[in-house]
């Protein structure tokens, strides 16, 4: 089996593939204070809970946007499975030309998402990833990574609002019944949810105009399933887009 690891600023997501089939996925909190031993114990426990024999894991690939966690996770894989993991970065073939002015600046997760999205539609595509940041990644009809947009994530925006406005309560991010809020809680929820719907649709319209054609739009990340039904531009929601991209990149380098 192939173990794929997506290290984000908020969560680490593990996926286990048997061929093209995703058998399991696990999500744990990203913590820069945990040691490689702590991550190893947690991963082994998750595998044991799901009755996965560690001996069946024969390969691994990591994408990380948290440099301080990359080396500890490499150590976890080496010590737990006795294998050397691939790490998405310079020197690893992605099968996608990077048109960014400085390709090394592009987050590994953004390239992985772009690879998976283009493989899925085989055409120009925009990936909207609702993570710690909300990112928009643009791929040309030829399958080249063109660039994109980075905006504060929904949770970051909510946290900043609660931290800076003394009288506003901390609320759950969920869709209110109506856009016009009749309570403070609903008003905040409306601003967060419908505000981000407007942000997504507005940016996608501008990106499509600059790209000179009608690009497909795929959403992924934690809040994609909430935002997508309210958006007029998001066409596909793929919760495992990053894990799929990691599998594809591993296959291109194995």
**Measured between alpha carbons, how far is 254 from 250 in angstroms, rounded to an integer?**
6
Positive or negative, the CA dihedral 29, 134, 157, 235 is negative
Both structure tokens of 235: 């066409």
Q: Which of 37, 53, 109, 129 is catalytic?
A: 109
- State how far the Cα of 24 lies from the Cα of 1, in Å rounded to an integer: 11
What gap in Å lies between CA 55 and CA 204, rounded to an integer? 45
Instruction: List CB contacts of 17: < 8 A, sequence separation 6 or more.
Output: 1, 2, 4, 23, 243, 247
Dihedral angle at the C-alpha atoms of 223, 224, 229, 230, nearest 10 degrees?
60
End-to-end CA distance of the chain: 13
Q: Where would I find the H helices in the chain?
A: 36-49, 67-81, 108-121, 154-164, 184-211, 224-227, 241-253
Is 109 one of the annotated active-site residues of the chain?
A: yes
Q: Give the span between the Cα atoms of 230 and 63, in whole angstroms.
A: 30
Distance CA 224, CA 206 (A): 20
Active centre residues (catalytic)? 109
């Amino acid at each position: 089996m192939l173990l794929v690891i997506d290290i984000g600023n908020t969560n680490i997501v593990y996926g286990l593939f048997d061929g093209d089939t995703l058998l399991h996925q696990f999500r744990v909190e990203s913590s820069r204070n945990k040691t490689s031993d702590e991550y190893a114990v947690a991963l082994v426990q998750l595998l044991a809970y799901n009755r996965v024999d560690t001996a069946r894991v024969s390969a691994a690939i990591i994408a990380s946007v948290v440099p301080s966690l990359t080396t500890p996770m490499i150590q976890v894989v080496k010590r737990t499975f006795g294998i050397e993991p691939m790490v998405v970065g310079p020197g690893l073939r992605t099968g996608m030309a990077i048109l960014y002015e400085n390709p090394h600046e592009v987050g590994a997760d953004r390239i992985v998402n772009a690879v998976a999205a283009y493989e899925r539609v085989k055409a120009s595509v925009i990936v909207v990833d609702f993570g710690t940041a909300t990112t928009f990644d643009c791929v040309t009809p030829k399958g080249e990574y063109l660039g994109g947009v980075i905006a504060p994530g929904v949770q970051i925006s909510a946290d900043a609002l609660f931290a800076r406005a003394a009288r506003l309560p901390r609320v759950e991010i969920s869709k209110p019944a109506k856009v016009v809020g009749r309570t403070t809680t609903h008003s905040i929820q409306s601003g967060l949810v419908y505000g981000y719907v407007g942000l997504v649709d507005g940016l996608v319209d501008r990106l499509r105009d600059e790209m000179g054609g009608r690009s497909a739009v795929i959403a992924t990340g934690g809040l994609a399933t909430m935002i997508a039904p309210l958006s007029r531009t998001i066409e596909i929601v793929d919760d495992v887009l990053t894990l799929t991209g990691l599998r594809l990149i591993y296959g291109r380098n194995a």
